């Protein structure tokens, strides 16, 4: 499944910036939709079962409307689910093209599973609608109606369950593939998706997703039932009470749990991904969740339809903050591989210009060494930084890694202070790396 990585093109720094922007837009569609769909399926299956067992029409109506809100028509499943998921997989293939991370393969599986889930979800919706319609038709003396009913019952039973199962698998792939992308230290060791089952990060993100989906579907239910376009048609007092009784407690509890998992997800991020932006958006998300839970609590105490709208909009803002939080963590984690990508692009570009006879003035390795490195480094002895003869052996077989280090120095040896970034252009980093490596080999 890694073929996507092979067709990816070298990216300039500006193009990588655009990719992150695209990922944000994709996530703002995909994450709320998938979590709403997941929550709606679970809740709908639960209430439908309850409605059948207790012969409760309110529960059956709740089960059906829950699905109707999130799947008003079938193209929504493609537009907000499958298509963004596909675009996201392509974006990750671009970002991770030079790495050993298997995220793209995992995401491709996720895409296939999601397509299956969408197909089942759509037939679940159809079955619910037909069951509802057929229940109004008297069954007496009409074998055909009875037959249809049986058929619809069968479709509903299987399709709802399968939709949920496939969705669980798709969401797992989504979470696992993306969690791996923000953990560069696991890129070499993880070789299949099952290994990620035990990852604490995947586990906490999965639980976070479930909590999010319950919050999403309950708040959505309240919003669409009481506020959106003046509220649901044919509302009875009993049904209003049923919706409140079912959605409010679930909504409130899941809203209260959400901040906990946001904090946990920050704690579990690798240090490389922790930037001020990551903290800022996590904080913003918690703030909006708090405000939304305030509105939900308001509905419990003294119900007003306007609270439902307020809770829905505030919660939407919280989800957007959550998305931006996730993307900024990803940007932090792929910083180095992005620098390598941009470097490849610059080289590619220069080669192209050179082939057309255009020469760019780039400093030679020796000039860069004298100007930018010799203050702190010698080949044979320690200065401010370590002697090159002591640190270069490990880069002998991997010059890209050396270039990466020079472009973006990381803490290595506790005995030294961190090396400041010298602000070189990728092509300059490449020539200085070549220069010190050649000199070092000559002196060996």
**Per-position b or e across 28-49, b if 16+ CB within 10 A of its CB:** bbbbbbbbbbbbbbbbbbebbe
Comparing CB distances to ligand HEC, the nearer of 149 and 372 is 372
Closest approach of Cβ 398 to ligand HEC, in Å? 11
Comparing CB distances to ligand HEC, the nearer of 50 and 372 is 372
Closest approach of Cβ 406 to ligand HEC, in Å? 5
Question: Could you give the CA distance from residue 227 to residue 209 in angstroms, rounded to a whole number?
Answer: 26
Comparing CA positions, the residue from 375, 385, 371 lying closest to residue 419 is: 385
Question: Could you give the CA distance from residue 250 to residue 238 in angstroms, rounded to a whole number?
Answer: 19
Comparing CB distances to ligand HEC, the nearer of 68 and 428 is 428
223 with 308: CB under 8 angstroms? yes
Comparing CB distances to ligand HEC, the nearer of 352 and 375 is 375
Closest approach of Cβ 429 to ligand HEC, in Å? 7
Residues that bind ligand HEC (CB under 6 A): 368, 372-373, 375-377, 384-386, 391, 405-406, 411-413, 416-420, 422, 424, 432, 436
Comparing CA positions, the residue from 270, 301, 268, 220 lying closest to residue 43 is: 220
What is the Cα Rg of the chain in Å? 28
Closest approach of Cβ 178 to ligand HEC, in Å? 29
Comparing CB distances to ligand HEC, the nearer of 117 and 368 is 368
Comparing CB distances to ligand HEC, the nearer of 299 and 432 is 432
Angle (deg, nearest 10), helices 83-95 and 143-181: 20
Residue 382: CA count within 13 A, CB half-sphere: 5
Closest approach of Cβ 342 to ligand HEC, in Å? 17
Closest approach of Cβ 442 to ligand HEC, in Å? 16
Per DSSP, the chain holds a count of helices (H) and strands (E) of 16, 0
**3-state DSSP assignment of residue 233:** coil
Residue 397, phi then psi, degrees to nearest 5: -95, 0
Comparing CB distances to ligand HEC, the nearer of 277 and 422 is 422
Question: Could you give the CA distance from residue 33 to residue 111 in angstroms, rounded to a whole number?
Answer: 15
List C-alpha distances in Å: 66 to 105, 231, 232, 416. Answer: 33, 14, 12, 60
Closest approach of Cβ 388 to ligand HEC, in Å? 7
Comparing CB distances to ligand HEC, the nearer of 200 and 384 is 384
Closest approach of Cβ 90 to ligand HEC, in Å? 34
SS3 content of the chain, % helix, strand, coil (to 5): 80, 0, 20
Closest approach of Cβ 270 to ligand HEC, in Å? 17
List C-alpha distances in Å: 94 to 22, 117, 334, 404. Answer: 12, 26, 11, 18
Comparing CB distances to ligand HEC, the nearer of 9 and 381 is 381
- Residue with structure tokens 């696991």? 186
């Amino acid at each position: 499944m890694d073929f996507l990585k092979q067709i990816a093109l070298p990216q300039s720094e500006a193009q990588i910036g655009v990719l992150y922007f695209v990922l944000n837009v994709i996530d703002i569609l995909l994450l709320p939709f998938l979590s709403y769909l997941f929550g709606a399926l679970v809740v709908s299956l639960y209430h439908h079962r309850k409605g059948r067992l207790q012969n409760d029409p309110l529960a059956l109506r709740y089960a059906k409307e829950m699905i109707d809100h999130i799947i008003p028509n079938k193209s929504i499943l493609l537009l907000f689910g499958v298509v963004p998921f596909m675009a996201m997989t392509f974006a990750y293939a671009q970002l991770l093209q030079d790495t050993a991370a298997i995220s793209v393969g995992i995401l491709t599986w996720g895409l296939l599973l999601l397509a299956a889930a969408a197909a089942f979800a759509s037939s679940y919706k159809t079955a619910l609608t037909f069951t509802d319609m057929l229940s109004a038709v008297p069954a007496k003396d009409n074998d055909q109606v009875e037959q249809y009913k049986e058929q619809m019952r069968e479709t509903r039973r299987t399709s709802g369950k399968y939709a949920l199962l496939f969705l669980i698998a798709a969401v797992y792939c989504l979470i696992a593939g993306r969690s791996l992308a923000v953990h560069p230290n696991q890129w070499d060791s993880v070789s299949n998706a099952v290994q990620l089952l035990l990852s604490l990060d995947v586990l906490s993100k999965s639980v976070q997703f479930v909590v999010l989906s319950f919050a999403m579907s309950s708040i959505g239910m309240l919003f669409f039932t009481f506020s959106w376009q003046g509220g649901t048609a044919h509302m009875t007092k009993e049904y209003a009470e049923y919706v409140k009784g079912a959605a409010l407690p679930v909504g409130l509890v899941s809203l209260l749990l959400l901040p906990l998992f946001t904090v946990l997800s920050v704690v579990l991020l690798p240090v490389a991904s922790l930037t001020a932006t990551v903290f800022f958006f996590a904080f913003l998300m918690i703030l909006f969740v708090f405000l939304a839970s305030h509105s939900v609590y308001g509905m419990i105490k003294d119900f007003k339809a306007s609270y439902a709208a307020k809770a829905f909009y505030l919660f939407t803002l919280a989800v957007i903050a959550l998305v931006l939080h996730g993307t900024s963590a990803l940007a932090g984690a792929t910083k180095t591989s992005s620098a390598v990508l941009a470097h490849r692009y610059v080289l590619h570009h220069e080669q192209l210009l050179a082939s057309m006879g255009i020469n760019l003035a780039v400093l030679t390795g020796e000039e860069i060494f004298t100007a930018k490195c010799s203050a702190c480094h010698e080949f044979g002895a320690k200065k401010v930084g370590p002697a090159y003869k002591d640190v270069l052996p490990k880069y002998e077989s991997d010059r890209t890694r050396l270039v990466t280090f020079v472009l973006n120095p990381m803490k290595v040896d506790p005995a030294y202070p961190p090396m400041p970034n010298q602000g070189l252009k990728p092509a300059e980093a490449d020539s200085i790396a070549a220069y010190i490596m050649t000199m070092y080999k000559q002196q060996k």
